[in-house]
Amino acid sequence: MTAAASPLRRVLDALPITVFVLLFIYLSVNSNSFLSLPTLELILKQAVPTVLVSLGLATVIIAGGDDVVSGGIDLSIPATAIICAAIVADQLTNREATLIWGLVLAFGAAGVIGVVNAGLVVWVRMTPLLATLATSVAVVGVTKVITESRRIGVTDPTIVFIRDGQIAGIAAGVVLTAIVALAFWHLVHRTRWGMNLQATGGSRDAAQISGIATNRFVVQSFLLAAFTGWIACTFVLARGSGSSPGSEENLLLEMVLATFLGAAFSPRRVVTVWGAVLGAVLVSALSVGFISIGVNVFWTGCIKGALILLVVASAAAGRAQ
């Protein structure tokens, strides 16, 4: 006996993909350059920071479950990336420290954020949505103190290489990000640790009964998320040639959209690592596409917000069916 999905559920499942396909058709028709190799490369380069933070968010959602309110979510990853970028830029430019030292300091900061998030969720038992929103706001505040709300330019050769360099003829940032993404995919989808992480998010009770220490996995997911924020910081610096406070907002928007959009592409309709990567690339393509046909950047934000609503709402409605 099998329980077939209802027709309404199938429509809801297909809705986000359909809307995206229609948007891409529209962009291809209205822009001469949208379907070209240079644009593709630009899309991938632009996608890099979003891919990295989406890996983190996907990990947290997989460990905490995909209920938008009570499940796992970490809104502080973009803020983590931005504060790490600020710390590195401040060390390099204002204090003439080495890149390594800047990265070490930033790693410490990311670690603190991860521990605070994990502590609030697992021990204080706050909902992840509120806990990470609060950390995010606090982290943005500290970032402003560090940078005095000003842009800090960076000219470190390693950062410049990540921006302009190539590995095997492909942009260095894209290659490095692909390696990180592959590592995450293997960890989450191809190891015992990953299966236990998925079980924890899939059903906390089932996981516990199977002898899985669920809290440990939730804690580790928040630490990994902070870690992706830390990795993303170098790419944020490369993309902007320095640290720019305020850029976490767009990153947050793209991260949430990419990760939940990824679920719509997964055969099981759940958040996955490769789905998040694909989602991030599509979201980047959308941004580049809108610019190429001259859509006002403020409208782009509005459209992305509407798409988040569409993706998350259709997932929620599909579950209710």
Partner 1 sequence: MAHALLQMHDITKSFPGVLALDKVALSVRAGEIHGLVGENGAGKSTIIKVLAGVYKADGGSVAMDGETLGDVNPRTIHAAGVRFIHQELHLVQHFTVTESVFMGQELSGPTGLRRREMTRRAEAFFREALGTELQGSTLIRDLGIAERKLVQIARALIDGAAKLVVFDEPTAPLSSGETKKLFAAIKRLKERGIAMIYVSHYLAEITDICDRVTVLRNGRNVAVFDDILPDSADAMITAMVGRELDALFPSSNHAAAAQMLQVTGLAHEAFSDVSFEVRAGEIVGIAGLIGSGREELVDTLYGLRKPSAGSVVFDGAPRTFKAPRDAVAAGMVLVPRDRRHDGLVLDMTVSDNVNLASLDDISTALIERRKAGAEKAAGVTAQLDIRPPNPAAVARNLSGGNQQKVVLGRWLTRGAKLFILDEPTVGVDVGAKVEIYTLVEQLAADGAAVIVSSSDPAELVGLCDRVLVMLRGEIVAEVQADMLGIDHLVALTTGGQAA
Nearer to partner 1, 100 or 183 (CB): 183
Decide whether 125 or 192 has the Cβ nearer to partner 1: 192
Does an H or E element contain 171, and which? strand 170-171
| DSSP string computed for 237-268 | HHHHTEE-TTTHHHHHHHHHHHHHHHHHHSTT
Kindly state the tokens that stand for 261: 């959009």
Task: Answer whether 124's CB lies under 8 Å from 222's CB.
Answer: no
- Binding map of partner 1 across residues 245-274, x = CB under 8 A, - = no contact: -----------------------xxx----
- Report how far apart the first and last C-alpha atoms of the chain are (Å, whole number): 19
| CA distances from residue 269 to 81, 126, 317 in whole angstroms, order as listed | 28, 27, 13
- Confirm if 80 and 229 have CB atoms less than 8 A apart: yes
**Based on CB atoms, which residue is closest to partner 1, 135 or 196?**
196
Query: Closer CB to partner 1, residue 196 or residue 221?
Result: 196
Could you say whether residue 1 binds partner 1 (CB under 8 A)? yes
Residue 285, token pair as written in the block: 């393509």
Number of residues forming the site for partner 1 (CB under 8 A): 24
Least distance in Å: CB of 66 to partner 1? 9
Smaller CB distance to partner 1: residue 199 or 307?
199
Q: How far is the CB of 90 from partner 1 (least distance, A)?
A: 40
Residues 195-234 that bind partner 1 (CB under 8 A): 195-196, 198-199, 202-203, 205-207, 209-212
Binding site for partner 1 (CB under 8 A): 1-3, 186, 190-192, 194-196, 198-199, 202-203, 205-207, 209-212, 268-270
